[in-house]
Copies of this chain bind each other. A is one copy, B any other.
């Protein structure tokens, strides 16, 4: 799988989130690492690319991201629906084996001290931009993307290829109660 990972130019990084997928948030600090699911993540700017993500104060991932000052937003695939639901409904506070029990395997990109989730379709390495007021009042965090990668079987040359890639690589879009939708058919209006 790692052989399919390619760097994404920063000016195209917003496209990894533009279609509104549910994401996984991961962070590592002091030898502890955690992964959570977040449906409330969104692009915020193009250049430099920024994003917003809502991180509940009860999550260990949030405190790890605050301590480390960096975190990863990654786009899970349809094949990872069960994993995504599992990391979104259990806490490292309650289950020290959360990641193993959820089937999460982490890997590092060379030169980056960040926990990336194996099997996702895209990864955005983010630096936390400190905004204490909105963090405390809304649990709303802003990250600046300083590196991005994608699986070139489903995102290449700056474009998602959901219409031709393996359906198992489609992005997930969570509603509630364990109910997701995969992304669907392409609709192109540019040539009309």
Contacts and interface: CB of A to CB of B under 8 A. Distances in A.
Copies of this chain, how many?
A: 2
Interface residues of A, number: 52
A180 B187 contact: yes
A96 to B, nearest CB: 23
25 contacts: A18-B173, A18-B176, A19-B20, A19-B175, A19-B181, A20-B21, A40-B43, A42-B42, A42-B52, A43-B54, A44-B138, A52-B140, A78-B187, A133-B133, A138-B142, A159-B175, A170-B184, A172-B187, A173-B173, A177-B190, A179-B186, A181-B187, A182-B185, A184-B184, A184-B185
Nearest to A190: B178
Contacts of A189: 81-82, 85, 178, 180
Nearest to A191: B178
Interface of A: 15, 18-22, 39-45, 50, 52, 54, 78, 81-82, 85, 131, 133-134, 138, 140, 142, 158-160, 162, 170, 172-192
